[in-house]
A and B are shown apart, each in its own frame.
Chain A
């Protein structure tokens, strides 16, 4: 029944999708036949997994027969099969087959040129050498497999009812395995239990894709066994998932409980083989894919094979050689026939009754054997060796090594080194390639008000200057005690010292240090808040404080005795808590305001007036804005150690003061709130209305007053000593004045206790606890840090819950993440649905590219009227300003959801999530359904510094005759700004803007621009850069085409691409803004195929992958954004500046070396063959050889092989420094010509 229902659901879904690509083509198996899963298990596209040691033993045996075990065998041969398979492999190469043909030919008596055996020698030598190499490699693989297969893992054994050590190879699908921290996962495992109370497990996928940041995996949701470690015997669940595939980012399936409830399985639930468990003490999982069926093994492909242009050319040359060979042999054959006809029976002839024609025919084949040297069989082998040598030297170049990242260059494609020397077009990503991709929050605009963060900007400028001033970068590797989050939580609180990608982490470490006199040495994560905004924030605190005070007041007055007196006392209490805060701050100025606000009724009034109707909306926006920053991300928080070190004497400067205030402020507030909440509870028995009224009257921020306050208290960490104290106080109904007094007393105690290591475990009370944020994108990191500067601190993340600290609210709030709609390239935004911790309403926070958000927020749900339109306009203005300054902009928006709407949407989402086929599309659609009618909150400007030496590199590349295109997803203004900064755009250059809305307009525009370019240019095809290289680049203004994504889409269409290409050829550089990854690759493809030029694409992120793959040479920058670009690239470098030496020196060298080596090879062979050939004219075309046949046979193999190799690896065409100084030499090479 359940099954039928489910099927019905599936069918419905399929109908919804238009019936396209349904997962099930037909109901599999007899449905009514008792619902035996065994009959339905193999529908070709999915697999069923049940526990091996579980209750369904018999069924398991039936199912798992086809599933592979976990033993892996990566060897290609076994002892028996080695010779036949290896020979077969080798003879798949045409060269070897040709050689074999020659050997066989020599066995024909009439044709035989040499002693039969001699011809075999080279072939045998080559075959044996390669076979030996293969055997050695295979043996190494065998040994490796053996060690892997014999690694130990704890597998559940039903006999002993415990986890026992077993070899990896004995693990089967359906086994339960238990892993500890830092253990490597032996197979693809479905996570069923984690020692982490939130059911989270962290893994590091460095073995898989090189990314060292931690990834969260979570236990299958709704698992009834969660909480206690599950007992495999009672695991009645059945898992259905898709068949093994190689998609690392996808895992779909569902788990069916014994109660026939289905739970969707996601990639999140799967622990992949060869990853490492981190930060989690114990995990238990069920093996779903084992051995070769794991995703890691399925992804195991060898190095990329790209054929270089030179090689293609070479193939043609070899073909010419063949033609030459045939013509030579034909000449000899004809010559021999004629020669034989001339004489009847010479004394030296061997009396055979062979007609001259037949003799000529025989001679033809003989000559093919004799002149075999012409076909350079060993050339291909030699080229491979030479390229290996070249790569060896490239990889060993110190200039391509980055000290900071401790990474040099990786050559992933082994055979296109010489293409580096012929690049004509370079396509570069902007973010992370030209820039550092170290995002630093610079400024923001909220609710239409800009907060310029001048101090912050100045700090950044200072920092930049410092970087420019000290080329060596003073902030390189510090003796590393930077904190790495890899340390297990179970470890003691000592700092595990490590730094793999040390820089980011060091920043974070430094952040915790007092900000001394030199802010420039600080890495950029620390944000100095804008005073204006800060004022508002503190006003917010004050307001809420006032609100709480009022609550407290009301409650107390309701409670009765000596009302007026109490009121005074309560005020005193509140005041006291503020005083306490002030005392903790250790300074006056910034807190004076707060104090004064808290101090008296007057100040409270002032606050209220400040936070009037209009202002309250703004304040709401501000809080929402920062909450969104803190919540709407995928940042992983790990607090390093237990933050045992606090600064006993807080330095007297602004930042630390702010920090201290951040620490003290909420604390004081929480105290008050706690008291209020408790007393409110007490008082609620009589009546809650007045308090509510009071709250709503005075506290605009807190909205539904006591309800919320109560929930806050409930949420608050019970271990928090302050709260406990307060609760006690409230319960005893003592004077409120007393509430304040002990509070004051506890503070110093707490501070001192923090220094006591024993107290470290008492809970995360210290505000300056070291938080380490790890994010997949640096933007998120910057935003979270920014939010933190405003006391909206993301404290932790555990599965569905986020721990957040908010100003104006009590301590740590736990925000339940109801839904996360992760970022993707199509939507260009990310959203989270949370229940607002203060208002309790359902809110969708969206963060994304400004264009997208602006569009979606045009008609907000909330009828905000003109004010909103104005705010939107202002925000847009600010965004434009930001973009002009070269900042990256992100917009933050929210949408308050109605419960019903949400529930309706949730249903759809669930459907989308559980569908296995078409899931992506459904999810996208579902996400788009939710992300509408947004209310704009504000926008942020993030600065991304240029990498060092980028302008110099670009200038050098341009001088080298390489056209540099920048393809970016950023705004046009940002892109232009960056282009200016990196000297892609000179001061004299003329910018051609191409923005238009329709195809026809685009056509016209392109024509216009083209005529403009032609009109001003000194002649057709003027900017061929090679011509004006004698002049400094800046003296001649060129044209720079700036085109945006939409226009690009038109321009890339068939009818217009001609014009676009023509125009872009005339331009010095092209900037494509707002381009999607697809467009990037289309542009590269267009230029590459239409202009038939050598292209290079360089990028660092996943959005550059397609471009990198399309280009002739793809270069990945191993930077901040994961490893996708590197994985798909041919070369991976760590900084953009390395491109200069890579192309100008190594490219040049490799190209000239290889080209000359090949010529050398042909030369020596042709020379030798000519010798043999002309000798035929004086030996009667009989195919005789004037040298010893050994010399002839070993000519290529032994006697002349080393010089070209040495030449190809070591020759320095021009000294490296000359090539670096004069990039023009690069373009002086004949374009891709070998001969």
Chain B
């Protein structure tokens, strides 16, 4: 028994390195990976590569920038501030006398003129300035499950909504600071026909919210029950609201939590100056511009106070293009980068031409 174990051990202990490959050796494998020979590309920057690169960038970027800039410039946009901070403003009275509790709505009308006709669909936005919708506490102050139609959350809103979760011992629906501070001005547009008639421009209130928001994130509690009043029975309206959530709109498809104005508002803006889509003026036909040039009147039901935080309120009319709304920045950026590259290319070319041949020998051969 001993002898056999001997032999086994003997053979184990004796590692012969006689021939390569016959027995285990510590020699590392000769593979591209282990020997760090994997193909690699390493650009060596020389005049021969850098100069063309600059010129190519310049020649490529400047046309793109011009194209973008022109597109952006073709977009028509009109903006009117109706905050009413100046005494001369028609809305001055409304803004000064504002109080949340006033039962009588204050209205004001602002005339304005469109120099150019607006073709295609015209989007009506309201814009707020200095409104910190991105404030950390503000952003969090909502209950998504309540907005998604969860009955339990309806009855007992999440803590995030505090202090806008309960009023009079009743849960607030929709709870939270965002909902509570919902924009509630009513804007109406009238075209002042040269012949003196005032034509109200039809504003579509459907299709302004994201499809996913409308159909996925926001849902009324109680399923398809059309009687929202009963659904929201036992809840309280947000403090600043004039009407309960079940009376936001007459259309049952656009009422309650799925009211599109509400949904738009609930999607908080990232910057303190922002605009939100309010209505759409649908294009009527190819022949007539949607909004012909001329005089218009903006009728505002002034409900929303902004003076306390130096805010501004605006109404914006805009058309869009394939690249979205009006944004000259992108085009300008392209043009600037392209121009700088081109200029650098020229400068370097001159330098290279003048001084480049001085010590060719020291150049790294390329």
Q: Measuring CB to CB, which residues of chain A are less than 8 angstroms from any residue of chain B?
A: 113, 180-182, 276, 342-352, 366, 393, 395-398, 401, 403, 406-408, 477-480, 484, 486-488, 491, 496-500, 502, 1178-1180, 1182-1186, 1210, 1212, 1215-1216
A406 adjacent to B28 (CB under 8 Å): no
Nearest-neighbor residue (CB-CB) of B183 within chain A: A347
Interface code B102-138, partner A: CB below 8 Å = 1, 0 otherwise?
A: 0000000000000000000000000000011111111
A406 adjacent to B27 (CB under 8 Å): yes
Knowing A182-B10, A398-B27, say if A345 contacts B138 (CB, 8 Å).
Answer: no
Q: Measuring CB to CB, which residues of chain B are less than 8 angstroms from any residue of chain A?
A: 2, 6, 9-10, 13-19, 25-30, 34-36, 38, 40, 42, 131-139, 141, 163-164, 177, 181, 240, 270-272, 304-306, 308-311
B34 adjacent to A396 (CB under 8 Å): yes
A1184 adjacent to B139 (CB under 8 Å): yes
Tell me, in angstroms, the Cα distance from A352 to B136 when the chains sit together.
Answer: 14
Nearest-neighbor residue (CB-CB) of B100 within chain A: A347
Tell me, in angstroms, the Cα distance from A395 to B26 when the chains sit together.
Answer: 10
Tell me, in angstroms, the Cα distance from A344 to B309 when the chains sit together.
Answer: 8
Main secondary structure, interface of B, reads: loop
29 intermolecular pairs with C-beta atoms under 8 Å apart: A180-B2, A182-B6, A343-B309, A347-B308, A348-B309, A350-B164, A352-B163, A393-B34, A396-B29, A398-B28, A401-B28, A406-B25, A406-B27, A478-B18, A479-B18, A479-B19, A480-B16, A488-B6, A491-B6, A491-B10, A496-B10, A498-B13, A499-B16, A1178-B271, A1179-B132, A1179-B136, A1180-B135, A1182-B132, A1186-B270
Knowing A343-B310, A350-B141, A395-B28, say if A1180 contacts B132 (CB, 8 Å).
Answer: yes
A345 adjacent to B132 (CB under 8 Å): no
Nearest-neighbor residue (CB-CB) of B239 within chain A: A351
Shortest B240–chain A CB gap in Å is: 7
Knowing A343-B309, A343-B310, A498-B14, say if A350 contacts B6 (CB, 8 Å).
Answer: no
Q: Please indicate the chain A residues that have their CB under 8 angstroms from the CB of B29 in the complex.
A: 396
Tell me, in angstroms, the Cα distance from A408 to B306 when the chains sit together.
Answer: 76
Nearest-neighbor residue (CB-CB) of B180 within chain A: A347
Knowing A352-B163, A1180-B135, say if A347 contacts B309 (CB, 8 Å).
Answer: yes
Tell me, in angstroms, the Cα distance from A477 to B2 when the chains sit together.
Answer: 33
B35 adjacent to A1184 (CB under 8 Å): no
Knowing A343-B310, A1182-B135, A1184-B139, say if A348 contacts B28 (CB, 8 Å).
Answer: no
B308 adjacent to A344 (CB under 8 Å): yes
Nearest-neighbor residue (CB-CB) of B36 within chain A: A393
Q: Please indicate the chain B residues that have their CB under 8 angstroms from the CB of A496 in the complex.
A: 10, 14
Tell me, in angstroms, the Cα distance from A477 to B164 when the chains sit together.
Answer: 86
Shortest B37–chain A CB gap in Å is: 9
**Further 16 A-B residue pairs, CB within 8 A, beyond A401-B27, A496-B10:** A180-B2, A344-B308, A345-B308, A347-B308, A348-B309, A396-B34, A397-B35, A406-B27, A497-B18, A498-B13, A1178-B271, A1178-B272, A1182-B134, A1184-B139, A1185-B136, A1212-B40
Main secondary structure, interface of A, reads: loop
Q: Please indicate the chain A residues that have their CB under 8 angstroms from the CB of B305 in the complex.
A: 347
Q: Please indicate the chain A residues that have their CB under 8 angstroms from the CB of B177 in the complex.
A: 348-350
Q: Please indicate the chain A residues that have their CB under 8 angstroms from the CB of B40 in the complex.
A: 1212
Shortest B165–chain A CB gap in Å is: 11
Knowing A350-B141, A395-B28, A1178-B134, say if A486 contacts B13 (CB, 8 Å).
Answer: yes
Tell me, in angstroms, the Cα distance from A487 to B272 when the chains sit together.
Answer: 87
Knowing A182-B13, A497-B16, A1216-B36, say if A1179 contacts B272 (CB, 8 Å).
Answer: yes
Tell me, in angstroms, the Cα distance from A1185 to B131 when the chains sit together.
Answer: 17
Tell me, in angstroms, the Cα distance from A406 to B26 when the chains sit together.
Answer: 6
Q: Please indicate the chain B residues that have their CB under 8 angstroms from the CB of A479 in the complex.
A: 18-19
Nearest-neighbor residue (CB-CB) of A1213 within chain B: B42
Q: Please indicate the chain B residues that have their CB under 8 angstroms from the CB of A180 in the complex.
A: 2, 6
Q: Please indicate the chain A residues that have their CB under 8 angstroms from the CB of B306 in the complex.
A: 347
Nearest-neighbor residue (CB-CB) of B131 within chain A: A348
Q: Please indicate the chain B residues that have their CB under 8 angstroms from the CB of A478 in the complex.
A: 18
Tell me, in angstroms, the Cα distance from A276 to B6 when the chains sit together.
Answer: 13
Shortest A1142–chain B CB gap in Å is: 14
Q: Please indicate the chain B residues that have their CB under 8 angstroms from the CB of A1210 in the complex.
A: 36, 38
Shortest A1044–chain B CB gap in Å is: 41
A397 adjacent to B28 (CB under 8 Å): yes
Shortest A1111–chain B CB gap in Å is: 26
Nearest-neighbor residue (CB-CB) of B38 within chain A: A1210
Q: Please indicate the chain B residues that have their CB under 8 angstroms from the CB of A1216 in the complex.
A: 36
Shortest A1172–chain B CB gap in Å is: 12
Q: Please indicate the chain B residues that have their CB under 8 angstroms from the CB of A1183 in the complex.
A: 136
Q: Please indicate the chain A residues that have their CB under 8 angstroms from the CB of B17 in the complex.
A: 406, 477, 480, 499, 502
Shortest B8–chain A CB gap in Å is: 9
Q: Please indicate the chain B residues that have their CB under 8 angstroms from the CB of A498 in the complex.
A: 13-16
Q: Please indicate the chain B residues that have their CB under 8 angstroms from the CB of A488 in the complex.
A: 6
Q: Please indicate the chain A residues that have their CB under 8 angstroms from the CB of B27 in the complex.
A: 398, 401, 403, 406, 408
Tell me, in angstroms, the Cα distance from A351 to B38 when the chains sit together.
Answer: 62
Tell me, in angstroms, the Cα distance from A480 to B20 when the chains sit together.
Answer: 11
Knowing A393-B34, A395-B28, A1178-B272, say if A346 contacts B136 (CB, 8 Å).
Answer: no
Tell me, in angstroms, the Cα distance from A497 to B6 when the chains sit together.
Answer: 15
Shortest B74–chain A CB gap in Å is: 29
Q: Please indicate the chain B residues that have their CB under 8 angstroms from the CB of A1212 in the complex.
A: 36, 40, 42
B10 adjacent to A487 (CB under 8 Å): yes
Q: Please indicate the chain A residues that have their CB under 8 angstroms from the CB of B19 in the complex.
A: 479
Q: Please indicate the chain A residues that have their CB under 8 angstroms from the CB of B135 in the complex.
A: 348-349, 1179-1180, 1182, 1184
Q: Please indicate the chain B residues that have their CB under 8 angstroms from the CB of A1184 in the complex.
A: 134-136, 139
Tell me, in angstroms, the Cα distance from A499 to B135 when the chains sit together.
Answer: 76
Shortest A500–chain B CB gap in Å is: 6
A348 adjacent to B138 (CB under 8 Å): yes
Minimum-distance CB pairs A-B, first 6: A498-B14, A346-B309, A1184-B136, A1182-B136, A1179-B134, A396-B28
Tell me, in angstroms, the Cα distance from A345 to B30 when the chains sit together.
Answer: 73
Tell me, in angstroms, the Cα distance from A346 to B305 when the chains sit together.
Answer: 9
Tell me, in angstroms, the Cα distance from A750 to B14 when the chains sit together.
Answer: 34
Please tell me which one of the listed residues B9, B141, B271 contacts residue A182 in the complex, with CB atoms under 8 A apart.
B9
B136 adjacent to A366 (CB under 8 Å): yes
Shortest B94–chain A CB gap in Å is: 16
Tell me, in angstroms, the Cα distance from A535 to B273 when the chains sit together.
Answer: 111
Tell me, in angstroms, the Cα distance from A113 to B42 when the chains sit together.
Answer: 44
Knowing A346-B308, A1178-B272, A1179-B132, say if A408 contacts B28 (CB, 8 Å).
Answer: yes
Tell me, in angstroms, the Cα distance from A488 to B3 when the chains sit together.
Answer: 12
Knowing A182-B13, A348-B132, say if A408 contacts B26 (CB, 8 Å).
Answer: yes
Knowing A343-B310, A1179-B135, say if A351 contacts B26 (CB, 8 Å).
Answer: no
Tell me, in angstroms, the Cα distance from A1183 to B136 when the chains sit together.
Answer: 6
Nearest-neighbor residue (CB-CB) of A1180 within chain B: B132
A398 adjacent to B181 (CB under 8 Å): no
Q: Please indicate the chain B residues that have their CB under 8 angstroms from the CB of A499 in the complex.
A: 16-17
Q: Please indicate the chain B residues that have their CB under 8 angstroms from the CB of A497 in the complex.
A: 14, 16, 18
Q: Please indicate the chain B residues that have their CB under 8 angstroms from the CB of A352 in the complex.
A: 163
Nearest-neighbor residue (CB-CB) of A479 within chain B: B18
Q: Please indicate the chain A residues that have their CB under 8 angstroms from the CB of B137 in the complex.
A: 349-350, 1182
Nearest-neighbor residue (CB-CB) of B138 within chain A: A348
Shortest B351–chain A CB gap in Å is: 24
A350 adjacent to B138 (CB under 8 Å): yes
Tell me, in angstroms, the Cα distance from A219 to B250 when the chains sit together.
Answer: 108
Knowing A403-B27, A408-B26, say if A348 contacts B133 (CB, 8 Å).
Answer: yes
Q: Please indicate the chain A residues that have their CB under 8 angstroms from the CB of B2 in the complex.
A: 180
Nearest-neighbor residue (CB-CB) of B9 within chain A: A182
Tell me, in angstroms, the Cα distance from A398 to B305 when the chains sit together.
Answer: 77
Q: Please indicate the chain A residues that have their CB under 8 angstroms from the CB of B36 in the complex.
A: 393, 397, 1210, 1212, 1216
Tell me, in angstroms, the Cα distance from A1012 to B365 when the chains sit together.
Answer: 43
Q: Please indicate the chain A residues that have their CB under 8 angstroms from the CB of B6 in the complex.
A: 180-182, 488, 491
Tell me, in angstroms, the Cα distance from A477 to B13 when the chains sit together.
Answer: 19
Tell me, in angstroms, the Cα distance from A892 to B270 when the chains sit together.
Answer: 91
Tell me, in angstroms, the Cα distance from A408 to B132 when the chains sit together.
Answer: 65
Q: Please indicate the chain A residues that have their CB under 8 angstroms from the CB of B164 in the complex.
A: 350
Knowing A113-B136, A486-B13, A1182-B136, say if A480 contacts B181 (CB, 8 Å).
Answer: no
